[in-house]
Amino acid sequence: MSLEMLEKLEAKVQMAVDTISLLQMEIEELKETNESLTAEANELRSNRETLAQDNDKLQNDHQAWQERVRTLLGKMDHVE
């Protein structure tokens, strides 16, 4: 092999090493982003579950109040 060919090969190898290094850094950044998004998704799921439970409770409370109002209205009808 000639010296010129070795220099070209060395340049290509160095370019490949540089590219691999950049890709590894990008992978690390993507992993960090993924972890952050996973944590955020878990928090949102938890918040959604809490809101669903609160909604169920409020609907039950609303139904209970409606029943109480109906009962009171029924008693008022009997008074008249």
| Residues 1-59: tens digit of each pLDDT | 699 999 999 999 999 999 999 999 999 999 999 999 999 999 999 999 999 999 999 99
What DSSP letter does each residue of 7-38 carry, written as one string?
HHHHHHHHHHHHHHHHHHHHHHHHHHHHHHHH
Higher-pLDDT residue of 77, 4: 4
CA angle 41, 51, 59 (to 5 degrees): 155
pTM higher than the cut 0.85: no
